[in-house]
Amino acid sequence: MNRRHFLKNSAALGFYPLLAGGLPVRSMAATSPLYLNPCEVTDRSMVIIFLNGGNDIINTTVPLNQMSEYANFRPDIRLPENSLITLDQNLPDAQQIGLHPALSGFKDLYDDGMLSVVQRVGYAQPNKSHFKSLDNWLTGSGGNLSNVPTGWVGRFFQDRYPGYTGNPFLGEPDPLGILFGNMNSTGFHTFEEHNYEINLSGQDPAGFYTLISSLGGAPLTDFPNTEHGEMLQHIMSIDSSVNVYAQRISETFGNGTNAVSYPNNNLGDQLKTIARMLNGGSRTKIFMATTGGFDTHGGEVDPLDTTQGRHAGLLGGIGSAMTAFQDDLAGLGLDNKVVTVIFSEFGRKIIQNGSYGTDHGTLSSMFVIGKGVEAGVHGDNIDLNIQDNPGAPNASQLQNDYRTVFASLLQEWLGASDNSLNSTFLSPGLINNRPNLINPSNLVPPECYYTPQVPTVCACLQVRVFLEGYYDGSQEMSTQLALNGLLPANQPYNQPPFNYAGDEALTNLPEGTVDWLLVQLRDEEDFSQIIAQKAALLRKDGFVMELDGTPGVNFEGVPDDYYRIAVLHRSHLAVMSNEAILTNAPNFVYDFTTGLSRAAGVQQQKLVGNAWTMIAGDLDNNHIINSSDFDLIKNANGQPTAYQAADLNADGQVNQTDDLLWKNNRSKIGELK
């Protein structure tokens, strides 16, 4: 499909698609897209996993201090004591847990300091209906509030980004929340509804066969003739926000990889997709996945071997999927960026039924997993002798309201203030008794809690590039020139061959500045015709910004129209967009880093890691890397630290590292003249 026509068609519908490429995972969840405050939490997300049906927590974490009662109440479905995995022999008796033998992966996570178990979780007035109980969990009503029309995740996002309308904005190109596996979206509802989440179901990570659904709006009718185009044809019931996000979702998946193999199960597929999207640059704040089958009224265990059966298979699937997910995050360098929390809508009865199963109960446990977690057990084992009339744990045993668990993670991990938590959970005072789930070295300090940020919509051009010589291979570039005080205060493109006469000058250096760039608008058809140009700054995550740190480039006085974008640098081959871009498309990002075809011409960029970069070595800016460039490196070799084009890797020195960059790229010819 012609991208220009796609933009025009979208504009007629009153929205613009966000066609950005992968943003750095380390820049995830920025409260301020300018990165001016170094204590902002910019690189974290939370994964929530729902065990649909009501997981039997008594057979998941067996209370080792009550084995005789356990055998008495569950004579036919109890697990043999010698089959249980002792979680931690150093725990008090009231917290001694024997994990189901299928959960050896959880034991490994605990021993590695990455698992926290929160016991006796629920709410004061439990409901044993699947639908109503889940509704209570997702709305944050806790069973005490009736007819709550919004979800706690939606209220959290609404507090953090007041006025968000379901479209990308500066600093946040991704959906704030993504649902997987036919997950109930109630938790994301606001009064506007469905602005805060995209629902991805029917996952097949190998081909990214995805059904993207939400409410309202006109469906896409034109699709690119690509692999991702096939995916987009499965979009149904799409509103404008999904139109905007479809390409972005496709690109983050396409840009990402996985470092390990996953088990072939439903949860494994979902977690594999999440890890790949994060690796591809997704900045989504909350992912929610689900796996079902936990309504084990019958056949929960194999009567001949209670360590086997339906429940064992389900728990084994969770354990293997979570182990793979954590290994994947570690292999991708993302394990300090993600925390996972697992819950079910309720537990099951203490007493067994007559069908080798259990019926709906009340209290359960939650599991919090991640490198940043404070490993341990919060709360005591359920007392098997204290039951309600149907034989479920009596609600008087409640020790941890589920909202306090989520509140702890929102504050300690994502930086929500007390005011935000009160707005999110509608229960002032409830949040005062939160378990400490994040280890001290990963806590967000109170002075760094976010303040609500109204989304900023900009009609300026958003451009993203990486410089090969400066790029570290992990979605960031070196800022050594700025840190060493070598960047000039005045733009450096006022000499041949650039001869740009602009008077741009710095008064303050924005955080994360890499170097100066020269950005041009060129005629849509006659590429040699420069319509406008401007000196700008390059941020370490690849985004071009104004001198005050505002992302984007604003060409004041230039009529809104379609132009080619050209980016020039003093030591790298220039690049130009492979298509004409409308200058007044809100939040549109032209991302050169996502593909070779983003730059006009043949082989105009170089793949470094998972990103495409501008090619290092064109020191004299004659659009060819040859011996004249090497002569400049040779002449500057060994000179004192300075700001000079021959310093291809921006470390302030000219040496054999710069020589090697030139050698690897010699004879490269640039398209832009």
User: Could you report the per-residue pLDDT of 528-540, keeping only the tens digit for each?
Assistant: 999 999 999 999 9
The arithmetic mean of pLDDT across residues 468-482, rounded, is 91
In a domain, 29, yes or no: no
Same domain membership, residue 516 and residue 399 = no
The arithmetic mean of pLDDT across residues 424-432, rounded, is 84
Same domain membership, residue 484 and residue 541 = yes
> What pLDDT band is residue 19 in, cutting at 50, 70 and 90?
very low
In a domain, 31, yes or no: no
Same domain membership, residue 473 and residue 324 = no
What's the rounded Cα separation, in Å, for the pair 536 and 554? 10
Q: Is 623 left (phi over 0), alpha (psi -120 to 50) or beta?
A: left
Same domain membership, residue 13 and residue 56 = no
Q: Which of 424, 447, 470 is the last residue of a domain?
A: 447
Same domain membership, residue 362 and residue 240 = yes
What's the rounded Cα separation, in Å, for the pair 288 and 267? 11
Same domain membership, residue 474 and residue 404 = no
> What pLDDT band is residue 285 in, cutting at 50, 70 and 90?
very high
With a pLDDT cut of 90, the percent of the chain lying above it is 63
Predicted local distance difference test score (pLDDT) of residue 608 = 93
The arithmetic mean of pLDDT across residues 82-89, rounded, is 98
In a domain, 208, yes or no: yes
Which region among 38-52, 74-88, 557-571, 595-609 has the lowest average model confidence (pLDDT)? 38-52
Cα distances (Å, whole numbers) of residue 313 to 24, 57, 98, 100 = 37, 15, 17, 11
In a domain, 33, yes or no: no
User: What's the pLDDT tens digit per position in 102-117?
Assistant: 999 999 999 999 999 9
> What pLDDT band is residue 143 in, cutting at 50, 70 and 90?
confident
> What pLDDT band is residue 185 in, cutting at 50, 70 and 90?
low
Same domain membership, residue 75 and residue 7 = no
Compute, in degrees rounded to 10, the torsion defined by CA atoms 387, 390, 395, 396. Answer: -40
In a domain, 411, yes or no: yes
Predicted local distance difference test score (pLDDT) of residue 172 = 79
pLDDT top residue among 71 and 227: 71
What's the rounded Cα separation, in Å, for the pair 203 and 209? 6
Q: What stretches of 370-483 adopt beta strand conformation (E)?
A: 376-378, 400-401, 462-464
At 362, which CATH number? Answer: 3.40.720
Same domain membership, residue 213 and residue 313 = yes
Predicted local distance difference test score (pLDDT) of residue 33 = 29
The arithmetic mean of pLDDT across residues 238-265, rounded, is 72
Q: Domain containing 183: what range?
A: 44-447
User: For the stretch 506-524, what's the b/e string if a residue is b when 16 or more beta carbons lie within 10 angstroms of its beta carbon?
Assistant: beebbbbbbbbbbbbbbeb
Same domain membership, residue 653 and residue 613 = yes
Same domain membership, residue 468 and residue 341 = no
CB 332, CB 42: distance < 8 Å = no
CB 117, CB 382: distance < 8 Å = no
In a domain, 574, yes or no: yes
pLDDT top residue among 297 and 196: 297
Position 213 pLDDT exceeds 60: no
Position 234 pLDDT exceeds 90: no
> What pLDDT band is residue 581 in, cutting at 50, 70 and 90?
confident
What's the rounded Cα separation, in Å, for the pair 96 and 580? 65
Q: Which of 447, 467, 495 is the last residue of a domain?
A: 447
3-state SS class at 574: coil
In a domain, 89, yes or no: yes
User: What's the pLDDT tens digit per position in 132-142?
Assistant: 899 889 988 88
Predicted local distance difference test score (pLDDT) of residue 587 = 59
> What pLDDT band is residue 246 in, cutting at 50, 70 and 90?
low
Has this prediction a pTM greater than 0.85?
Answer: no
Which region among 215-229, 386-400, 624-638 has the lowest average model confidence (pLDDT)? 215-229
Same domain membership, residue 491 and residue 440 = no
Query: Per the omega criterion (within 30 degrees of 0), is the bond before 497 cis?
Result: yes
Please, which residues bridge with residue 264 across strands? Answer: none
Counting the structural domains of the chain, the total is 2
Position 3 pLDDT exceeds 50: no
Q: Which of 415, 447, 479 is the last residue of a domain?
A: 447
| Contacts with 325 (C-beta within 8 Å, 6 or more apart), sequence order | 262, 271, 272, 274, 275, 340
Same domain membership, residue 509 and residue 648 = yes
